[in-house]
Amino acid sequence: MMERRMECGAVVMNGCIFVTGGYSYSKGTYLQSIEKYDPELNQWEVVSNLPSAMRSHGCVCVYNV
């Protein structure tokens, strides 16, 4: 990941892993960023931010089949 985190949310969408928020032990702060891992590129990138920093939350993907 671009930023190490714990107590974050995670979900898989379109073959990529999205990790949201969490707590940065090294910085001592809650995180607002959303990171995406693309296994085809073997690469992490910051794709967006949450409305506010948060930790210990869940994520869900609603997909219309």
Q: pLDDT tens across 22-44, in order? A: 999 999 999 999 999 999 999 99
Given a contact cutoff of 8 angstroms between Cβ atoms, the answer to whether 20 and 9 are in contact is: yes
4-21: average pLDDT: 95
What pLDDT shows up at residue 23?
A: 97
Cα–Cα dist 6/15, whole Å: 22
Residue type, 48: S
Residue 63: the pLDDT is 79
Say how many Å lie between the first and final Cα of the chain, rounded. 30
What pLDDT is recorded for position 7? 96
How much is the average pLDDT of 38-62?
94
Residues 6+ apart with CB under 8 A from 45: 2, 35, 36, 38
